Amino acid sequence: MKMNLPPEADLDLTLMAARFAALGSEQRLAVLRTLVRAGPEGASIGDLGARAGVTGSTLTHHLKILAQAGLVRQVRQGRQIICMGAELGVIERLSGFLFDQCCADAPEGHRHDRHD
């Protein structure tokens, strides 16, 4: 069902849907979570695979999907490829997308503070 949204909100909705879709796999979620845990230094593909329990062409496939969604970056350092989670702000915006309108249409007495 298509909602009537301003064009910029429609683009944001499309981007967020793509990002949530990229996380629609236990293995991709495990990979991203592993990269978030690794911090800004990231992890080599071999280390990432060992830590996340996903290796080889399966890991490559999942990294490609996460990178296309803007959730993972890959940087070549010499002979290694280092994978990093997206900037923390990207992940915060993803979770904030769900909560920024929290209870906006609920009756006044049923609204909740986001920080409960």
Q: What is the CATH number of the domain that holds 20?
A: 1.10.10.10
Asked if the structure places residue 108 within a domain, the reply is no
Q: Which domain holds residue 51?
A: 8-97
pLDDT band for position 28 (cuts 50, 70, 90): very high
Q: Flag whether 104 is in a domain.
A: no
Residue predicted with more confidence, 27 or 88? 27
Which pLDDT score, from 0 to 100, does residue 10 have? 65
With cut-offs at 50, 70 and 90, classify the pLDDT of residue 95.
confident
Nearest partner of 20 among 83, 66, 86, judged by Cα: 66
- Reported as a pLDDT band with limits 50, 70 and 90, residue 8 is low
- Domain assignment present for residue 79? The answer is yes
Is 2 part of a structural domain of the chain?
no
Residue at 114 is within a domain: no
Integer Cα distance of 98 and 116 in angstroms = 15
Strands 72-77 and 80-85: antiparallel
In a domain, 115, yes or no: no
Number of domains in the chain: 1
Query: How far apart (Å, rounded) are the C-alpha atoms in residues 87 and 91?
Result: 7
The CA-based angle 107-113-116, given to 5 degrees, is 135
